[in-house]
Amino acid sequence: MRAQVAAGALPYADSARAGRQRHLLTRITTAITAAQQDARALLALATTRLPPPPTAPPTVEAAPPTTRATALPVTPAAPPTAEASAPSTVPPAAAAGVPPTTEAAPPSAPAAPPSTQAPAHTATPASVPAAASAFRRSARLRGLRWMRGVPALPASTSRHALRTTTVAGVVFLLTQAAALSHGEWATLAVLRVLRPQYAVTRERGAQRVIGNVVGGGCAAVLIAVVHEPAALCLILFVLISAGFTLRPVNYAFWVVFGTPLVLLIGDVSHPGDWLDAAVRIAMTLLGTSAALLGSRLLWPSWEHPRLAAHTAHAATATAAYLDTVLGSLGRPTRRPDAATTRGAAEKALAQAHTTCQNAHREPGHDPAALDDAARLLWTLDRLVVLTAALTTHVTPRTARIPALASYTGHATAALSGNHAGQTARHLDALTDDLDEMSLYLDDLHTRRHRELAAGCTGETRSRAAIREDGPVIELLATIAAVLGEIRTPPRPAPGSPTAPPP
């Protein structure tokens, strides 16, 4: 290819483009290999068993002094023996030959009590209740301090717990008062269907009903046709294997295979009636209907008022990731932790996508606002992918790209800006910066043409700059085009804190 360029058979622009593509493919292959190595290392770490944490010895709190004094009996000090009263060393006077004076203590004099004996004061019976009362008061204070240290439950969790308890209790009382057969299945359906979000409750309810209808119908046919215990055991084995295999895929598969499993287990030892399947379907419909009504009427938790806040948080996290990567282009010797900011951006985007999907299934939402939010989230997903591709081109030469610092500031401001006029000004500034970068790239190509005309086909500075800076400038132009699609922010949904007044 070099010979063709030198001979004029191949345009230089095509040759430069092919070189950039080969270089980009090499970088992508290197990044994929590094990711595979990291995945294998994480898998090895996940299978490593961690040692159990050391258990702290139990702390025993000392009792009040008055209680300790009452627990020890007070006994009179015993007189010391002759060996104890005798001095352990010879006095200086005796060593000099002087007889002892009359001030010396006689052998029968009692010695001072040792330090290990009980105190001299005695506890009165009236101090025992006071000590017990003080101990109980200190225990109550410790209990209050422990309760203050327990973190409080979020409001949504408390409302869901109260909602679940109320609906399940009402369904249980109704089934018991009406003496319905297998009324516990209705209560179980409430507990399995009811979720904190109304949209998720609707989805679980549909899966529960469809699975019970299909599985209950199959169970009724099997109960009426199959009567051999060996055949039933084989069918149960198939149902258990299929149910536990497909359970992580979708909850509906577990209900389809779990319903005949429950009905046929009792039929192995005690052959039952196929009407039990119809009763289970009826109880499931009752419990699911109660769960849907409770989720709609009792302290509902809607997702569409929170969509604007979650979308703004996703845009802020993506802007932080973009700023981190663009900053590393200008400072290649300083490698920031881009993986942390990328993880935060992806987590915020996943939460915003879930909120948007749930809001679409809720009543009373604004379709236009939801469409704007969905469009913005998909655009942010593209921006995260392009920014991740930009991390593979960080080299010492990228810091020489002109207007890179200005591009970094305007790109982050265009993504995190709240005013449409400010966003338009930042996008115009990005266009000017890209024009300057394009002139820089054209100048490199001109130098390379001169080198080729002079017969220099080896590695030169201009060739290395074209190979390393060309893909970076192309990605920066694509990022600027994606930022231009986020010119109009999504309108907040009615009822949200950021919604304008009517």
Is pLDDT of 132 > 90?
A: no
Which residue type is seen at 103? E
Write the pLDDT tens digit of every residue in 115-124: 444 444 444 5
Cα–Cα distances in angstroms (integers) from residue 216 to residues 62, 213, 224, 278, in the given order = 64, 5, 12, 7
Going by C-beta distance under 8 Å and a sequence separation of 6 or more, which residues neighbour residue 321? Answer: 338, 341, 342, 344, 345, 384, 387
Write the pLDDT tens digit of every residue in 46-93: 777 766 766 655 554 444 444 443 444 444 444 444 333 334 443 443
Write the pLDDT tens digit of every residue in 358-405: 888 888 777 888 888 889 899 999 999 999 998 888 777 777 888 888
> What integer is the mean pLDDT of 285-308?
87
Write the pLDDT tens digit of every residue in 24-37: 788 788 888 888 88
pLDDT band (50, 70, 90) for residue 4:
low
Q: Which two tokens stand for residue 92?
A: 């200086």
Residue 352: predicted pLDDT: 92
DSSP 315-369: HHHHHHHHHHHHHHHH-TTS---HHHHHHHHHHHHHHHHHHHHHHHTSTT--HHH
CB-CB contact of 189 with 251 (8 Å):
no
> What integer is the mean pLDDT of 403-411?
88
Is pLDDT of 107 > 70?
A: no
- How many helical (H) and strand (E) elements, i.e. helices and strands, does the chain have? 18, 0
> What integer is the mean pLDDT of 207-214?
90
For the chain, the first-to-last Cα distance in angstroms comes to 67
Other Cβ atoms closer than 10 A to 75: 8
Mean pLDDT, the chain, integer:
75
Cα–Cα distances in angstroms (integers) from residue 4 to residues 18, 215, 452, 470, in the given order = 13, 70, 11, 22
> What integer is the mean pLDDT of 274-285?
85
Torsional class of 364: left (φ above 0), alpha (ψ -120 to 50), beta (otherwise): left
Residue 460: predicted pLDDT: 86
Is pLDDT of 170 > 90?
A: yes
